[in-house]
């Protein structure tokens, strides 16, 4: 489980610039997704060997200061609830503002690590000016210039030192199926429909994150934890920022899941936010099942389902080997088919292929369709093995791994999928020096 660090503050203090600089400068960054909700950003980063998730809460530019202050307070409160540490960014050019004081008033009440960061400090004069931020009552501060990265190393050293150690929960090592998606897609209703009809529920367990509930569930002779991320707590606080809140919950749920059941509203389609949650799951190498809910509300003919499915697969290229199931939680249509499919995807994700079988199947194909020559040099793949990792990863040993390009790796992945069932599971292909 990685820690979550939230960057908060009023607009135009350089939060996004700071976030983007971290994404660009760290080789260990896994991914960055922008545009999830307005100008929200999510990134996964590593500093000094410690991994953490970074949330840029952004800032609204609304018509009046009064409306804005209500929105920024809401953003900060959400960040405080979800984050393990908070970076509070202010701007030395403008000095201490009323909005800075409002945010500081909220942060002084929390017991989590708070890092006061004074941005745009790029000369000695501004370093002296930054002293006034002691008046916010948050103790020591860090001077940085996000535009050129000055001071960020010291800040990140202190940040990772203060992050709490995350213990892996090893209660029963049951598989975890997370139900994720944007608000109002039917996630809670889906789980309630399962729980209400099935009599194999054993017990409810408090989740490892405060907004998920794990339900131990037994179906098709297979026991697993079903994780609800549907926003159980303090809904009144969320209001217009449901998107931001749901992404933070989804980030945690996806990181801990084995399989993600991505629920979308058929009347809204596979929109930008749903796509971003899909790619978060894919980049975290989780099994994925797409559930198109409220299918009963869509006007359709005999071709509608195929057309809808084709449109989704177009959006998720090149990872199109994903089950798509059309359900109606209201009528309980295909909800158990969804669980049965998730179990199959979990088994695919944990599947191990014998080395001898891999080589017997794939080496003749590779011999018939070898990698393209590069600079008159020929790549010869000699040996294949599956790596001992929780998700499918394969090493292809060859003489010139640096000359094997992505199109050929996708060819190898397609052949793996063609001969061994990895439906719903991202596959990693690595070229290694023989």
Confirm or deny that 323 is annotated as ligand binding: no
d(CA 424, CA 260): 10
Confirm or deny that 60 is annotated as ligand binding: yes
Confirm or deny that 184 is annotated as ligand binding: yes
Confirm or deny that 399 is annotated as ligand binding: no
Confirm or deny that 188 is annotated as ligand binding: yes
Confirm or deny that 11 is annotated as ligand binding: yes
Q: For residue 219, count CB atoms less than 10 angstroms from its CB and return exposed for 0-12, middle for 13-18, buried for 19 or more.
A: middle
Q: Which contiguous run of DSSP H or E holds residue 291? A: strand 287-293
Tokens of 6: 């939230």
Confirm or deny that 95 is annotated as ligand binding: no
Produce one character per residue of 75-88: b if its CB has 16 or more CB atoms within 10 Å, e if not: bbbbbbbbbbbbbb
Confirm or deny that 285 is annotated as ligand binding: no
Confirm or deny that 152 is annotated as ligand binding: no
Confirm or deny that 81 is annotated as ligand binding: no
Strands 176-180 and 259-265: parallel
Confirm or deny that 64 is annotated as ligand binding: no
Confirm or deny that 73 is annotated as ligand binding: no
Per-residue DSSP letter, 84: S
d(CA 238, CA 231): 9
Cβ atoms of 57 and 40 closer than 8 Å: yes
Cβ atoms of 227 and 179 closer than 8 Å: yes
d(CA 238, CA 90): 25
DSSP E strand boundaries for 37-147: 41-47, 50-56, 85-91, 114-119, 141-143
Tokens 């971003």 identify what position?
A: 276
Confirm or deny that 49 is annotated as ligand binding: no
Confirm or deny that 14 is annotated as ligand binding: yes
Confirm or deny that 187 is annotated as ligand binding: yes
Confirm or deny that 12 is annotated as ligand binding: yes
Confirm or deny that 332 is annotated as ligand binding: no
Confirm or deny that 410 is annotated as ligand binding: no
Confirm or deny that 47 is annotated as ligand binding: no
Confirm or deny that 56 is annotated as ligand binding: yes
Confirm or deny that 245 is annotated as ligand binding: no
Confirm or deny that 120 is annotated as ligand binding: yes
Confirm or deny that 129 is annotated as ligand binding: no
Confirm or deny that 185 is annotated as ligand binding: yes
d(CA 270, CA 266): 8
DSSP output for 92-105:
TTT-S-HHHHHHHH
Confirm or deny that 20 is annotated as ligand binding: no
Confirm or deny that 372 is annotated as ligand binding: no
Q: Provide the annotated binding site for GTP.
A: 9-16, 56-60, 119-122, 181-188, 228-232, 293-296
Q: Provide the annotated binding site.
A: 9-16, 56-60, 119-122, 181-188, 228-232, 293-296
């Amino acid at each position: 489980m990685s820690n979550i660090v939230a960057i908060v503050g009023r607009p135009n203090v350089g939060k996004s610039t700071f976030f983007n600089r971290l994404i660009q400068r760290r080789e260990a960054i896994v991914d960055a997704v922008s545009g999830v909700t307005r100008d929200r950003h999510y990134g996964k980063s590593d500093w000094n060997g410690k991994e953490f998730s970074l949330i840029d809460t952004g800032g609204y530019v609304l018509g009046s200061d009064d409306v804005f202050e209500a929105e920024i307070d809401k953003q900060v409160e959400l960040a405080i609830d979800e984050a393990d540490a908070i970076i509070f960014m202010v701007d030395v050019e403008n000095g201490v503002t009323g909005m800075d004081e409002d945010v500081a008033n909220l942060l002084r009440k929390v017991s989590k690590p708070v890092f006061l960061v004074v941005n745009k400090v790029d000369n000695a004069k501004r370093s002296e000016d930054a002293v006034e931020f002691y008046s916010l009552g948050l103790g020591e501060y860090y001077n940085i210039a996000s535009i050129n990265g000055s001071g960020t190393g010291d800040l990140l050293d202190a940040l990772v030192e203060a992050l709490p150690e995350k213990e892996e929960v090893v209660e029963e090592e049951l598989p975890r199926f997370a139900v994720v998606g944007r608000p109002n897609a039917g996630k809670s209703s889906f789980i309630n429909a399962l729980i209400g009809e099935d009599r194999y529920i054993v017990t409810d367990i408090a989740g490892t994150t405060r907004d998920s509930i794990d339900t131990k569930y037994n179906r098709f002779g297979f026991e697993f934890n079903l994780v609800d991320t549907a926003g159980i707590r303090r809904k009144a606080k969320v209001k217009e920022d449901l998107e931001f809140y749901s992404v933070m919950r989804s980030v945690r749920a996806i990181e801990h899941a084995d399989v993600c059941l991505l629920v979308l509203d058929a009347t809204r389609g596979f929109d930008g936010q749903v796509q971003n949650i899909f790619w978060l799951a894919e980049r975290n190498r989780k099994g994925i099942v797409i559930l198109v809910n409220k299918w009963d509300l869509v006007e359709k003919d005999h071709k509608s389902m195929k057309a809808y499915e084709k449109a989704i697969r177009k959006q998720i290229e090149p990872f199109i080997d994903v089950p798509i199931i059309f359900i109606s939680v209201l009528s309980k249509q295909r909800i158990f088919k969804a669980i049965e499919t998730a179990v199959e995807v979990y088994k695919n994700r944990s599947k191990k292929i014998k080395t001898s079988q891999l080589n017997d199947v794939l080496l003749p194909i590779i011999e018939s369709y070898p990698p393209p020559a590069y600079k008159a040099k020929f790549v010869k793949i000699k040996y294949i093995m599956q790596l001992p990792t929780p998700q499918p990863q394969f090493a292809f040993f060859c003489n010139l791994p640096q000359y094997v390009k992505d199109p050929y790796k996708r060819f190898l992945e397609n052949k793996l999928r063609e001969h061994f069932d990895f439906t719903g599971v991202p596959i990693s292909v690595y070229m290694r020096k023989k």
